[in-house]
């Protein structure tokens, strides 16, 4: 008997009205300086009038536009240089006006709002009648196919129906609050994994201690760049900077609503997008709860698997993932340690499902195949759709398979509870395939999820529809296990 899939009526689609004010560099520094000099020459009256027009047209679209402009002004100074313009002679109004020429609105979800993951929220106050508060993350995509992470807060009632809080009209970019303290050995190992071997690495790294700060690294790079370097050596330094910029922490204002917070690309490694975050509520050995998310950083040329950590969804720590197992997209962390070690599922060869174990959450090697394409609907490739879900019968892993006409369907597998390297069972037929309502969108014929939860005897699966919108479905755990164990 086929498993009953209960599709929920909730559907979420892109909203082009939700915009952030991001830094914009109009051309090379010479062109930027010319813009600054034009504003410098304006009379005080002209500058005041022009700036008032900016405030009138845009301040109602952002929570604190003047603060954004003040931050972007410092970015302008950094790009143009302290010596190129007499910045101190500018009035506060002219500084903000200059900044407005280097600021643009970006509709973060104008193209797509998809590939969700769901976790139980850290704070449960306000959930009534046995309801459970949840946080759902989404991949939001705008102009240029740049992806970011956004959130919605909702409640699941006793029947597993979902009710979302109204999304705010405003969006908030976080403050980058600190850089990372780097361990030289791990840093050099990651450069090796990136197949970068040039002697310029030694020129930059040798003067540094076993641990070093971002500032110390930049000072060493500055000294190295004084030499007459070839183009290929300069590209290596570019790669070193890329890796260094991949470690950072961000913080949102405490007065922001969850739907206002957007994790927009910060480092060069993710300049073309933060893709498919797989969030999981992780229970530490001491009972403390952390939230982790694995995601793919993309710079337009190559990818870098990364890990995000938070306790409260206000403060986030971001770092790259290292090791031979981190060579492809789609890695998901188990929600607790297994036999005292962290565990991760991955698709490091782009085709099969793997499992890895590690004593260090940032370093992953020795991947082992646990599942290969077997049925026609998954002959192209398989992968995971988020963290495994723990049940008494084993770990339920929601999967995806790619079949004829590049159609993506969801499936499921069951892994042994004590030894998840062992595959117990799997579904022969797709669990969820695109229906007529779901198959048309930015990329047709795709349903895809980044993380589900077990609740009230069901698995609740959020999923993207055709890389455009998102919806939800519920499947009885008993029905799913029964169908899998029959295979």
Give per-residue pLDDT as tens, 325-344.
Answer: 887 788 999 999 999 999 99
According to the model, what pLDDT value does residue 179 have? Answer: 61
Compare 161 and 199 and report the one with higher pLDDT.
161
Tell me the three state secondary structure of residue 2. Answer: coil
Average pLDDT for 279-285: 97
Q: What CA dihedral angle connects 294, 120, 173 and 276, to 10 degrees?
A: 30
- Secondary structure of 90-124 in the HEC alphabet? CCHHHHHHHHHHCEEEEECCCCEEEEEEEEECCCC
- What residue has token string 């009138």? 56
pLDDT tier, 147 (very low <50, low <70, confident <90, very high otherwise): very high
User: Does the pLDDT of residue 380 top 90, yes or no?
Assistant: yes
Other beta carbons within 10 angstroms of residue 91's beta carbon come to: 11
According to the model, what pLDDT value does residue 363 have? Answer: 86
Give per-residue pLDDT as tens, 249-278.
Answer: 999 999 999 999 999 988 777 888 999 999
According to the model, what pLDDT value does residue 346 have? Answer: 95
Give per-residue pLDDT as tens, 96-134.
Answer: 999 999 999 999 999 999 999 999 999 998 777 789 999
Give percent above pLDDT 70 in the chain: 98
Give percent above pLDDT 90 in the chain: 72
Other beta carbons within 10 angstroms of residue 170's beta carbon come to: 17
Give per-residue pLDDT as tens, 190-219.
Answer: 888 777 767 889 999 999 999 988 778 888
Q: Quick one: tokens of 76?
A: 């302008």
According to the model, what pLDDT value does residue 455 have? Answer: 97
- Please give the domain boundaries of the chain with CATH numbers for all domains: 5-15+108-175+247-485 (2.115.10.20), 19-107 (no CATH), 180-244 (no CATH)
Tell me the three state secondary structure of residue 379. Answer: coil
Give residues with Cβ within 8 angstroms of 137, minimum separation 6. Answer: 116, 117, 118, 149, 150, 151, 277, 279, 293, 450, 451
Give residues with Cβ within 8 angstroms of 86, minimum separation 6. Answer: none
Mean pLDDT of all residues in the chain? 92
Give per-residue pLDDT as tens, 48-75.
Answer: 999 999 999 999 999 899 999 999 998 8
Cβ distance 152 to 135 under 8 Å?
A: yes
According to the model, what pLDDT value does residue 77 have? Answer: 85
User: Does the pLDDT of residue 180 top 80, yes or no?
Assistant: no
Give per-residue pLDDT as tens, 216-240.
Answer: 888 898 889 888 888 888 888 877 8
Give per-residue pLDDT as tens, 391-433.
Answer: 999 999 999 999 999 999 999 999 999 999 999 999 999 999 9
Q: How far are the Cα atoms of 10, 43, 176, 232, 274 from residue 266, in angstroms, in the given order?
A: 32, 36, 8, 25, 9
Average pLDDT for 471-486: 91
User: Does the pLDDT of residue 473 top 70, yes or no?
Assistant: yes
Round to the nearest angstrom and report the end-to-end CA distance of the chain.
12
According to the model, what pLDDT value does residue 178 have? Answer: 58
Average pLDDT for 450-473: 98
pLDDT tier, 283 (very low <50, low <70, confident <90, very high otherwise): very high
Give per-residue pLDDT as tens, 13-29.
Answer: 999 999 999 999 887 77
Average pLDDT for 135-146: 96
According to the model, what pLDDT value does residue 369 have? Answer: 97
Average pLDDT for 281-290: 96
């Amino acid at each position: 008997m086929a498993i009953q899939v209960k599709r929920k009526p909730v559907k979420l689609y892109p909203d082009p009205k939700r915009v952030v004010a991001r830094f914009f560099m109009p051309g090379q520094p010479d062109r930027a300086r010319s813009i600054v000099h034009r504003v410098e020459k304006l009379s005080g009256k002209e500058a005041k009038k022009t700036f008032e027009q900016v405030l009138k047209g845009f301040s109602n679209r952002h929570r604190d536009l003047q603060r954004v402009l003040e931050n972007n002004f410092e970015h302008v100074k950094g790009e143009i240089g302290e010596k190129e313009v007499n910045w101190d002679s500018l009035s506060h109004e002219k500084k903000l006006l200059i900044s407005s020429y280097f600021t643009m609105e970006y509709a973060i979800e104008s193209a797509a709002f998809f590939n969700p993951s769901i976790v139980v929220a850290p704070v449960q106050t306000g959930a009534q009648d046995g309801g459970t508060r949840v946080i759902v993350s989404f991949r939001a995509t705008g102009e240029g196919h740049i992806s970011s992470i956004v959130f919605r807060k909702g409640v699941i009632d006793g029947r597993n129906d979902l009710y979302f809080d109204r999304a705010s009209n405003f969006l908030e970019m976080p403050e980058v609050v600190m850089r990372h303290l780097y361990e030289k050995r791990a840093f050099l190992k990651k450069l090796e994994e990136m197949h970068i071997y040039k002697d310029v690495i030694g020129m930059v790294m040798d003067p540094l201690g076993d641990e070093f700060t971002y500032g110390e690294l930049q000072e060493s790079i500055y000294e190295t760049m004084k030499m007459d370097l070839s183009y290929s050596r300069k590209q290596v330094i570019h790669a070193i900077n890329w890796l260094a910029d991949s470690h950072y922490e961000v913080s949102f204002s405490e007065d922001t609503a969850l739907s206002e917070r957007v994790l927009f690309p910060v480092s060069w490694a993710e300049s073309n997008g933060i893709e498919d975050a797989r969030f999981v509520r992780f229970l530490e050995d001491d009972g403390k709860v952390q939230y982790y998310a694995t995601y793919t950083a993309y710079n337009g040329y190559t990818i870098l698997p990364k890990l995000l950590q938070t306790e409260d969804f206000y403060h986030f720590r971001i770092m790259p993932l290292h090791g031979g197992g981190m060579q492809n997209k789609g890695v998901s962390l188990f929600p607790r340690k297994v036999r005292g070690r962290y565990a991760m599922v991955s698709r490091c060869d782009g085709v099969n499902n793997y499992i890895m174990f590690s004593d260090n959450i940032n370093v992953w090697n020795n991947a082992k195949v646990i599942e290969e394409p077997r049925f026609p609907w998954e002959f192209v490739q398989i992968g995971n759709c988020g963290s495994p879900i723990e049940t008494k019968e084993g770990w339920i892993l929601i999967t995806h398979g790619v079949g004829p006409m590049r159609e993506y369907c969801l499936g499921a597998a069951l892994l042994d509870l004590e030894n998840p390297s062992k595959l117990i069972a799997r579904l022969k037929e797709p669990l969820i395939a695109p229906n007529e309502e779901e198959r048309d969108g930015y990329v047709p014929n795709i349903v895809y999820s980044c993380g589900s939860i077990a609740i009230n005897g069901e698995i609740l699966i959020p999923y993207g529809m055709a890389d455009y919108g998102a919806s939800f479905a519920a499947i009885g755990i008993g029905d799913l296990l029964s169908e899998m164990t029959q295979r």
